[in-house]
Amino acid sequence: MLKPEHPYTIVSVVTPETDDPSTSGRVINFPCAPTVSHEMLEQGAGLTWSLRGPWRDRGYATMESLYAQERNPEGAAAWAKFIADGQAGKRVGVFSREQLPREVLRRQACGETDTTQALVDAKRTAPVTNKVASK
């Protein structure tokens, strides 16, 4: 568990689409800091991180980029609050699927192109949680 006083930024990465509902479109949260590195992430200016090219080429995406692609600042703000509340030790439960980027829902539905059906299908799979990846 991350403690609020730790200077970590959580970078949420979405796994690529696969044929397996247990791995397709899963969200992995990486704690990042100048002294903490992850194989798939690189630090940009200041305290920003992005996916390294090979990982992006394999279909991984950050939640931040998916919200930006969909021009969904409300969803992005809700996700940022969800992550911040988790870092602060507040009970956060499960993030609302209705606020996830459509691409996450599509990936979780293993390629379903109808986003309405993807939402229905995604509700049958494991929920998105505030799980943090280990080093």
pLDDT at 69: 96
Q: Which positions ≥6 away from 3 have C-beta within 8 Å?
A: 89
The predicted pLDDT at position 2 comes to: 41
Structure-token pair, residue 96:
């609302």
Say whether 55 sits in a helix, a strand or coil: helix
Q: pTM to 2 decimals?
A: 0.77
pLDDT at position 122 is 52
| Residues 6 or more apart in contact with residue 100 via CB below 8 angstroms | 75, 122, 128
Does residue 135 form part of some domain?
Answer: no
Task: Count the domains in the chain.
Answer: 1
Whether residue 16 lies inside any domain: the answer is yes
Q: How many angstroms from the chain centroid is the CA of residue 132? A: 10
Q: Which pLDDT tens digits describe the chain residue by residue (135 residues)?
A: 344 455 688 999 999 998 888 889 999 999 988 788 889 999 888 778 899 999 999 999 999 999 999 999 999 999 999 998 888 888 778 898 889 999 999 998 885 555 555 556 555 544 455 455 655
In a domain, 130, yes or no: no
Domain-embedded: residue 101? yes
pLDDT of 90 reads 86
Domain boundaries, position 104: 9-122
Give domain status of residue 114, yes or no: yes
- Per-residue tokens: 81: 């609050």
94 assigned to some structural domain: yes
Confirm whether 65 is domain-assigned: yes
Structural domain contains residue 50 = yes
